[in-house]
Chain A
């Protein structure tokens, strides 16, 4: 066989080999557990649950929308409603135009926590639009219902939760370091993929087995 052909075949073989080695190394490595102080963040479910799932998200991030629409309902149905898991959300606002949205969502949580997810589920599908004006945020709140509109409007005018969003962002950056990005999910402090329910399920079941 010609020299060039041998070179091409051996390079291709080496590339495949290194990719497989990289994958095996990465997936066999257990991620480091981080200690998360989550007091004060929006939280749902059994406060005494042994497992806490923490999601860090920006309400203008479309991958966060994917997670909330596809993966979260399954976590809710299987683990939150059964009291096995407590679910905590850390809203951050680092994408352009996301501060007013996160501000409104936080206000909805503080004043009508049971309407929070309904409100967030209406906001997230608009992740592609350039800006969501205050009037639209109020309209969404009206449509969702059960939200104190006067309080929300006042909060939007005074940016009443901006300080909290700044604090959340610093908290998230300290937790994630150079890997900062959203959505980021932790199950009892262990970083877990947000791409599929199966990934979250496998981590939760593993911890449940250890606890039992």
Chain B
């Protein structure tokens, strides 16, 4: 467990890195326009990959206090969007515009797993790993 804790910061950064790569791949390479809620999630994710990368390199665990709010706010938006896919009355066009993923998911795996759910899991994982990295 101690070894896992030692690498928690690195793992949190790896999760954010995977998120950024997937986001850039869909947005810039496949050219799928991100919706408004997706942009909010990007706004919280993109700084994480930089600050967690530097923190993992320097093994600076004090970063948690800066990174944790970003991860939690990102998770909040992702969870809201996920719930909006399951219960569409929660989303309206003034909140999410008409991007493809916002109200109408690009994909559903097993009928309920969508892109924002992956995003929510990623943010929660980052928050959990940051929390873990603080434990003595």
Contacts and interface: CB of A to CB of B under 8 A. Distances in A.
Interface of A: 4-5, 7-9, 11-12, 15, 18-19, 22-23, 26-27, 60-63, 94-96, 127-130, 178, 181-182, 193, 195
A62 B96 CA distance: 11
Interface string B102-127: 01101100000000000000000000
In terms of DSSP, what is the predominant structure of the interface of chain A?
Answer: helix
Interface of B: 7, 10, 13-14, 17, 21, 24-25, 28-33, 53, 56-57, 59, 92-94, 97-100, 103-104, 106-107
A171 B93 CA distance: 26
B17 A11 contact: yes
Given A4-B56, A5-B57, A195-B31, A130 B94 contact: yes
A15 B21 contact: yes
B29 A18 contact: no
A26 B31 CA distance: 11
A96 B102 CA distance: 13
Contacts of B14: 11
A12 B92 contact: no
A181 B107 CA distance: 11
A95 B56 contact: no
B17 A15 contact: yes
Contacts of A19: 21, 24-25
Nearest to B106: A181
B94 A128 contact: yes
B97 A62 contact: yes
B98 A181 contact: no
Nearest to B17: A15
A61 B96 CA distance: 12
Contacts of B10: 4, 7-8, 11
Given A22-B25, A26-B29, A60-B98, A12 B93 contact: no
B33 A128 contact: no
17 contacts: A4-B10, A4-B57, A8-B13, A8-B53, A8-B57, A11-B13, A18-B21, A26-B29, A61-B98, A63-B99, A94-B104, A96-B103, A127-B98, A128-B98, A178-B107, A181-B106, A182-B100
